[in-house]
Amino acid sequence: MSATEFRAIVVTRTEDESGKRTQSSALTTIGNDALMDGDVTVAVEFSSINYKDGLALMGKPGVARVWPLIAGIDLVGTVESSSDPRWAAGDHVILNGAGIGESHHGGFAERARVSGGSLVRLPEAVSAERAAAIGTAGFTAMLAVLALERGGVAPDSGDVLVTGAAGGVGSIAIALLAARGYRVVASTGRGDELGDYLRGLGAAQILDRHTLDEAGKPLQTQRWAGAVDSVGSFTLANILAQTDQGGVVASCGLAQGADLPTTVMPFILRAVTLAGINSVEAPLALREEAWAHLATEVDLELLDSLTSVITLEDSFAAAGDILAGRMHGRTVVDVRH
């Protein structure tokens, strides 16, 4: 390859004569002229596999909004050039969300051109690989933990539930909450298989997810001081119905569905707060605050134990695994290999 060429996983969409649209992805070589507008060019070193990435790579709708599109909602790398005065060649940077891998070329490539206004400086105590392991999942988990704390949920308030516990957000949320002194209950459908893994992260109790995933009463026995939910639908409705007076539920995903079949009862009779977590559009100040916490609060050795590293080519198989629920922990993509 020439110096202006690089490898990337590109998502494309085609339309046949009947109007049927098909989305697919492939690892290919492209040139600098394919990059989108931006004031900072980054030599990407690592990305990671998230649920959104799985959808994009497996041809599912709802993530990619422009085509062709380089996938990958995370990137960690080194600035090659910048017209943004905040950044200079050689700076080590992180970017989570901010539209990359959705409406702007993302991190599954050896090079990216992005907006400097969303970049965060790589903390000195965290390697590039570990920052990618934290990634959007850890960033989202920290935003959720901060939302619980701002809502008044303290370690002595009672149990905190984490759904999708074996996933990236869930795994890191458990570790962060447990390190802060919370008693964490982990909801998963793989308790027999992954119970030891979840307890190793700090979960005090394992809950079968199927106890939450069907229609329930609008108000139920109070069980949770707070919750971090990445599932949505009936699961989130039941959590709200079981949340203590004045409790907070941070919603950050829709693995079960985007619907929310609930009533206003938890909100007006128990003063429950439903806090939405949007890691994509988080303002820079919040990004920097979250990463400052992550740099000091994540147990890096524990992070290593739940992280695997794959190549760009391996990303397709990993995407299938994450959609099928066969993956746990964090999967880092070394885009240089």
Q: Quote the pLDDT of residue 1.
A: 65
pLDDT of 2 higher than 80: no
Report in angstroms the alpha-carbon separations of 58 from 55, 96, 320.
5, 21, 7
pLDDT of 191 higher than 80: yes
How large is the average pLDDT for residues 86-103?
Answer: 98
Evaluate the CA torsion angle 87, 309, 108, 73 in order and state its sign. Answer: negative
Q: Quote the pLDDT of residue 98.
A: 97
pLDDT of 217 higher than 80: yes
CATH of domain 136-276: 3.40.50.720
Q: Are 217 and 195 in contact (CB under 8 A)?
A: no
Q: State how beta strands 243-251 and 224-229 pair.
A: parallel
13-70 pLDDT, tens digit per residue, is 999 999 999 999 999 999 999 999 999 999 999 999 999 999 999 999 999 999 999 9
How large is the average pLDDT for residues 264-280?
Answer: 98
Q: Quote the pLDDT of residue 89.
A: 98
Domain ranges of the chain: 5-122+306-334, 136-276
Q: Quote the pLDDT of residue 200.
A: 97
CB burial class (10 A; 0-12, 13-18, 19+) of residue 124? exposed
The model's confidence at residue 171, banded by pLDDT at 50, 70 and 90, is very high
CATH of domain 5-122+306-334: 3.90.180.10
Q: Quote the pLDDT of residue 3.
A: 80
